[in-house]
Chain A
């Protein structure tokens, strides 16, 4: 709702009702809060409404929520406009949110955005004519280790994107298939580029104990004594430690 998207070329539906399954969820959320404090459930309810209504919340839904929670409409509206993740205007079936904050940008998010804009024929903030895709720019999604990142419909992250590997993701979505969630380069979660290197391995190699794990059997006693007796340490032992000092 913040500035960039201000559309008037759509019709607000007259009515909104939660589906039967969603109504159960709604009731469960309302039941979490003490009587008279139902208003606390406004955020999950807005989210449910958005999911039910193709990624956006119409005015009728806000009115329905106000009625369900015994709030005034303006109070629901205040919440819905405050959070950028509530969409108050229609979005495509696939709402792609491109992170362009510093880490993603450093890793080439600008190129990813450009490639998608070219491929879909729309600009940031627009929806394709067939109503399939909406591109929006968002701030940090908190997946900086796998930058650049795109989020779909608030649920799925596509990571480690490049101008090349983002197109297959879009094509898969277009074809109604489920693209692979997570890294698109095949790396496991946030594994570093050199593979499974870590302090644990180094510690293991050097025979140091890792907190919470049983001490390495062989050199345990020696290693424990190391800090007080630097003389005793072998050259292989001291290498990492010397760095630490």
Chain B
């Protein structure tokens, strides 16, 4: 363990720690542009120069490992002079366009020039100009501002797995470019906006919208998939302007998917901002008492078994428990959250959670993907798999569709037959799994959203048990979900109803459920739709109750791992829309079955009562292993594709113009791709 002195402070660090990391441990700041703690170290910006005793020249602290008895000075005259020189050099070709630059106010170059640079320019010669690149509808480029830190190139190579950006030409003509004007096709491309230390890569939808100091920042969680990425919602005057990732090492690290980042303009379109009642076949605007009265009138005398409730993909846990309690008071057990028709066994938490945990993926040495495309279904889980593959070159096998993943895999087969063979110990991948120290499998929605889902669920369990995926401190069985509400609803037991029966019942309560087969809803069924978007199901509704989107309420979402996380209210819901649990609470009173909670603290107490995991926010309580699924024969048909278009999967993203542009730019292009396109 090297022991060194930094600015007179003695510190002992792990072997291999670079000086910049050691300095950070002491809380001292070293300016940097190219160094990023999640990326490799190219040491090409030279901004982190420090003085090291006995070294005749300043040393790039990001690339220099600590050694015993080193004496480092981070703020000596030599270090200061070196930084001044570097800043001056970087500014040679950097335009002085900060007033019209979107990065202004949160620009590393701007901040560090003020902190470490000269107070005036000595440069009188001409600056160069670089042609902008077309990186698609999400990332705007102003390449003249680029200082060639290569963070975006390294992000593409190391995290996103799309090696489309590169450093072209040299010297005065050096520039960051793509291969012959190609789009950057990644579901995580938005992150290059965050890591760009200057205004070369900025957000296109957010272009010229706001300055960082005008924004109110709210820490929240994302609901565009079941990963539960931690996000920061930036708002101004009741409008969500942008979403940025928030560091959570165990969930999303520093990244979020493009959908999480850019679908927010959908929050402004097609919103339900007042109650509606269907009169004479047409939805007419109404007020809350009228809507509640209409429902109460309709509920009167209806048998509990003729009432059903379906929870949609974006519902929060508070509204789920309120709806569950409400249905119980109505005498109904017809409740279901698997609106897509997924057939897995919902009785045991170990059967539906991502038991390995997202951070746990990094410990795995063999991964079996069954009927899943993690790239579209959970982009950040896929990034974690890729990270693990990059670090250890683990073996990955795929059963299902032959998908375009950004790491190599062994294709095993298309459907349940291959899984059956594997369960019997046959097949090419059996050896790999047997030899693995920490094997894991990910069962995707493509494998369970079918009639024989229960059997496949059991088959996957057998595979997990056979290949020793369960042992002390290791659980390699994972069911991947794509819906933010799903695991929360499962934890609260919002299952058990027969979807077909419910669709044909007398009253159907849809809590943001847009993925149900709307055309199969019975002609005389009274449909209550509570949600925030006029999407697929709202058009069929008889009464619409306007709810709040995830940015508009304080709510708990449980991610795929079983980790409850808090979403915080960033703005108010539009018009007369209200927080969802309050709507159900109010309705229950008018229906004569008042629920026993009046504020959010009481609802949360009820959540904890229903399931203790809600007592500890951001913690995972490992599930004990119990048998689940149903033994039986599986259908021979291959596993299908679950998400056809990554950019449009829920009511918010379907209402988003940016996501529509992405669909045009990326998904159309994908279809034209042939085998030679890598």
Task: Give complex CA distance A3, B169 in Å.
Answer: 9
* Nearest A residue (CB) for B168: A81
Interface check A191, CB cutoff 8 A: no
Interface check A33, CB cutoff 8 A: no
A2 touches which one: B167, B169, B178 (CB < 8 A)? Answer: B169
What distance in Å separates the Cβ of B393 from its nearest Cβ neighbour in chain A?
Answer: 11
Contacts of A239 in B (CB 8 A): none
Interface check A1, CB cutoff 8 A: yes
A74 touches which one: B169, B171, B179 (CB < 8 A)? Answer: B179
Contacts of B179 in A (CB 8 A): 72-74, 77
Contacts of A72 in B (CB 8 A): 163-164, 179, 678
Contacts of A75 in B (CB 8 A): 163, 166
* Nearest B residue (CB) for A1: B169
- Beyond A74-B164, A77-B180, 4 additional pairs, beta carbon < 8 A: A2-B170, A77-B168, A82-B168, A82-B170
* Contact between chains at B166 and A3 (CB < 8 Å): no
A1-18 interface (Cβ within 8 A of B) = 1-3
Q: Interface code A38-81, partner B: CB below 8 Å = 1, 0 otherwise?
A: 00000000000000000000010000000000001111011001
Q: Interface code B446-474, partner A: CB below 8 Å = 1, 0 otherwise?
A: 00000000000000000000000000000
Question: Can you give 5 A-B contacts (C-beta < 8 A)?
Answer: A72-B179, A73-B179, A77-B179, A77-B180, A81-B168
* Contact between chains at B173 and A2 (CB < 8 Å): yes
Contacts of B165 in A (CB 8 A): 74
Contacts of B170 in A (CB 8 A): 2, 81-82
* Contact between chains at B168 and A78 (CB < 8 Å): yes
B169 touches which one: A59, A73, A82 (CB < 8 A)? Answer: A82
What count of chain A residues pass the 8 Å CB interface test? 12
* Nearest B residue (CB) for A73: B179
* Nearest B residue (CB) for A72: B163
- Overall SS of chain A's interface: helix
* Contact between chains at B180 and A59 (CB < 8 Å): yes
* Contact between chains at A81 and B163 (CB < 8 Å): no
Contacts of A74 in B (CB 8 A): 163-166, 178-179
Task: Give complex CA distance A75, B169 in Å.
Answer: 12
Q: What are the nearest 6 A-B pairs in CB distance?
A: A74-B166, A72-B163, A74-B179, A81-B168, A78-B166, A73-B179
Task: Give complex CA distance A77, B181 in Å.
Answer: 12
Task: Give complex CA distance A2, B169 in Å.
Answer: 7
Residue numbers of B with Cβ under 8 A of A are 163-173, 178-180, 678
Task: Give complex CA distance A82, B168 in Å.
Answer: 6
A137-158 interface (Cβ within 8 A of B) = none
A156-198 interface (Cβ within 8 A of B) = none
Task: Give complex CA distance A193, B170 in Å.
Answer: 39
Q: Interface code A196-213, partner B: CB below 8 Å = 1, 0 otherwise?
A: 000000000000000000
Contacts of B180 in A (CB 8 A): 59, 77
Which of B164, B172, B179, B678 is most buried by chain A, counting CB atoms within 10 A of its CB? B179
Task: Give complex CA distance A74, B180 in Å.
Answer: 9
Task: Give complex CA distance A78, B164 in Å.
Answer: 11
What distance in Å separates the Cβ of B398 from its nearest Cβ neighbour in chain A?
Answer: 20
Task: Give complex CA distance A59, B179 in Å.
Answer: 10
Task: Give complex CA distance A75, B678 in Å.
Answer: 14
Task: Give complex CA distance A72, B678 in Å.
Answer: 9
Contacts of B172 in A (CB 8 A): 2-3
Contacts of A73 in B (CB 8 A): 179
Known: A73-B179, A74-B178. A81 touches B164 (CB 8 A): no
Contacts of B178 in A (CB 8 A): 74
Contacts of A59 in B (CB 8 A): 180
Task: Give complex CA distance A73, B168 in Å.
Answer: 12
* Nearest B residue (CB) for A12: B180
Contacts of A77 in B (CB 8 A): 166, 168, 179-180
Task: Give complex CA distance A77, B167 in Å.
Answer: 9
What distance in Å separates the Cβ of B337 from its nearest Cβ neighbour in chain A?
Answer: 42
Task: Give complex CA distance A81, B169 in Å.
Answer: 5
Contacts of B171 in A (CB 8 A): 2
Task: Give complex CA distance A78, B153 in Å.
Answer: 12
* Nearest A residue (CB) for B171: A2
Task: Give complex CA distance A21, B78 in Å.
Answer: 58
Contacts of A3 in B (CB 8 A): 172-173
What distance in Å separates the Cβ of A61 from its nearest Cβ neighbour in chain B?
Answer: 13
Task: Give complex CA distance A82, B167 in Å.
Answer: 9
Task: Give complex CA distance A73, B177 in Å.
Answer: 12
* Nearest A residue (CB) for B167: A78
Task: Give complex CA distance A143, B157 in Å.
Answer: 41
What distance in Å separates the Cβ of A81 from its nearest Cβ neighbour in chain B?
Answer: 4
* Nearest B residue (CB) for A71: B163
Task: Give complex CA distance A42, B333 in Å.
Answer: 67
Task: Give complex CA distance A58, B171 in Å.
Answer: 23
* Nearest A residue (CB) for B166: A74
* Nearest A residue (CB) for B175: A81
What distance in Å separates the Cβ of A15 from its nearest Cβ neighbour in chain B?
Answer: 11
Task: Give complex CA distance A110, B165 in Å.
Answer: 40
What distance in Å separates the Cβ of B470 from its nearest Cβ neighbour in chain A?
Answer: 35
A81-119 interface (Cβ within 8 A of B) = 81-82
Contacts of A1 in B (CB 8 A): 169, 173
Contacts of A82 in B (CB 8 A): 168-170
* Nearest A residue (CB) for B169: A81
What distance in Å separates the Cβ of A14 from its nearest Cβ neighbour in chain B?
Answer: 12
What distance in Å separates the Cβ of B408 from its nearest Cβ neighbour in chain A?
Answer: 11
What distance in Å separates the Cβ of B14 from its nearest Cβ neighbour in chain A?
Answer: 29
Task: Give complex CA distance A74, B165 in Å.
Answer: 7
* Nearest B residue (CB) for A4: B173
What distance in Å separates the Cβ of B596 from its nearest Cβ neighbour in chain A?
Answer: 60
What distance in Å separates the Cβ of B15 from its nearest Cβ neighbour in chain A?
Answer: 27
Task: Give complex CA distance A77, B172 in Å.
Answer: 18
